[in-house]
Amino acid sequence: MPPDAAPFLGDAVRPDDDTHPEARAVQLRLLQRATVARRAELACSLSATAIALSRRALAERMPGATPEQVLLRWVAQNYGEDLARRVARRLAVAS
């Protein structure tokens, strides 16, 4: 596939996909017609939802932890211990 070509996913079906083919076709048409701004808005919304769910799941596995402790653990898991330590130092200075 050329580097500038977008893959066509209209016919792709995964075993865990429960979206009806007609609904998928409607979704794809809507995305194809969406402006760049709308696509960016959708991407940001999806990203924010994924982050929120990830942090909530982590908090559930850390009973008794403060929101700051959960945040620092999440940063460590997603961006590395070094960044988590730097964020912790910044938070300590700010408080």
* Enclosing domain of residue 34: 21-94
In a domain, residue 5? The reply is no
In a domain, residue 26? The reply is yes
| Model confidence at 7: pLDDT above 80 | no
Contact (Cβ atoms closer than 8 angstroms) between residue 74 and residue 89? no
Helix then strand then coil, in percent of the chain rounded to 5, is 70, 0, 30
Please state the pTM of the whole predicted model. 0.69
In a domain, residue 11? The reply is no
Please state the domain count of the chain: 1
In a domain, residue 84? The reply is yes
In a domain, residue 13? The reply is no
**Measured distance CA(25)–CA(78) in Å, rounded:** 34
In a domain, residue 12? The reply is no
In a domain, residue 40? The reply is yes
Contact (Cβ atoms closer than 8 angstroms) between residue 70 and residue 58? yes
| pLDDT digit string, tens, across residues 19-57 | 898 999 999 999 999 999 999 999 999 999 999 999 999
In a domain, residue 31? The reply is yes
| pLDDT digit string, tens, across residues 47-87 | 999 999 999 999 999 999 999 999 999 999 999 999 999 99
